[in-house]
Amino acid sequence: MTSYRQPGVVLTDHRFSVPLDHANPSGERIELYGREAVATSKADADLPWLVYLEGGPGFGARRFIGRQAWLGRALEEFRVLLLDQRGTGASTPLNRQTLPLRGGPREQADHLALFRSDNIVRDCEAIRPQLTGGAPWTVLGQSFGGFCAVRYLSAAPEGLATVLITGGLPALHGGPDDVYRAAYPRIERKVAAHYARYPQDVERARRIAEHLAEHRTVLPSGYTLTPEAFQSLGILLGVGSGTHQLHHLLEDAFVPTPGGPELSDAFQEQVAAQLSFAGHPLYALVHEAIYAQDSRPTAWSAERVRAEFPRFDVARILAGDGPLLFTGETIHPWHFTADPSLRPLRESAELLAGRRDWPELYDPARLAVNEVPVAAAVYHDDMYVDTEHSLETARGIRGLHTWVTDEYEHDGVRASGPKVLDRLLALARDEI
């Protein structure tokens, strides 16, 4: 283990070996990376542990500098493990370069099926005794990390002292079709709110989409920017500063050239950075699979359900005079032709979308008799996680304390500094 310091924090790198498939513990193993953080003044203290599960799927734990965001509040009383979930961050990598080591598309799809919340929880239980000596720990789950926390409550509550969830209470029943059927109207509301704040962006967005419909545009990164890909920039609208980021991105899109107006190099670079999955391909590969719980294939759910909302059809929009509707947290087949980091994985993604043997993730009967203290922040009209689904789940988990707020968007636990975590801890302890 290597330890080092940042302002007010002592950090230690941990690497853990866990089974790739926990059903075969003597088989292949993979590596997990976790960064331990403890307040400098408490480096030698005997503190309870808190493990942070990042959102996604497919993102490693956030790399904080010092005591940023919620971490400073956590370090007042916990030793924190910032865990890179399997396949993310500095854990055993999973991407277009490494997946061919598994074999062909079929073998790759079978491998990818092991990267959902059920196995993430098994990983946590495998490493917990090594850190805590067997004592239960507190879990802080953001977004998809909250999905993992609910799985944890269903499968291994004995490992939990407290559960804190921010923007991540999943629907206990149903599948991805239900998720996206609820999502598109929320996305439309977020787009309407953006245009109300920045009415000049109506014309700007439409002009860019028209240009892309008329000119094949390949970004310097190799990403093919179609009108549909441009629409997906709406994913920004789910976080607190997202509407402003999108506005600044649109305002200087074009530059004059001898051949007429063109999308500027600066615009293209910024768009490539927003849209590329090179740093988190697992997000695209298993995003719909995280909702699957039965024998029905996900079958490109977001693409199929989108047909029920023709107002998002870019060809129809451009044929009329209405505003362009951006889309949100949805994955489509075209992602695997547009993005060079995903193109080699298209066939594997197709096979995963056709898979029919998804096990149940949640145990409603066990959740109904839960005894672990749980508190959850539910962000009003969260673009990424449906509020009604979250509240229904909250009612199904015995003893869960819910805080519904419109003060923050989906990234409230980061944007609020210590406030969200502080309130969740107080709720879980019945202090408020």
Q: Which residues contact 54 (CB under 8 A, 6 or more apart)?
A: 60, 61, 62, 83, 85, 88, 142, 143, 144, 145
Q: Is 357 an annotated catalytic residue? A: yes
With beta carbons less than 8 A apart as the criterion, state whether 187 and 234 touch.
yes
How would you class 259 by CB atoms within 10 Å of its CB: exposed for 0-12, middle for 13-18, buried for 19 or more? exposed
Q: Is 143 an annotated catalytic residue? A: yes
- Closest to 155 measured CA to CA, from 175, 178, 139, 176: 139
- Closest to 107 measured CA to CA, from 20, 33, 32: 20
91, 117, 143, 301: which one is catalytic?
143
Q: Which residues contact 163 (CB under 8 A, 6 or more apart)?
A: 138, 139, 141, 149, 152, 153, 372, 373, 374, 375, 428
Unique residue bearing structure tokens 């009604």? 388
154, 382, 410, 411: which one is catalytic?
410
| Whole-number Cα distances in Å, 172 to 91, 294, 367 | 29, 12, 10
With beta carbons less than 8 A apart as the criterion, state whether 117 and 139 touch.
no
**What distance in Å separates the CA atoms of residue 70 and residue 55, rounded to the nearest whole number?**
15
Active centre residues (catalytic): 143, 357, 410
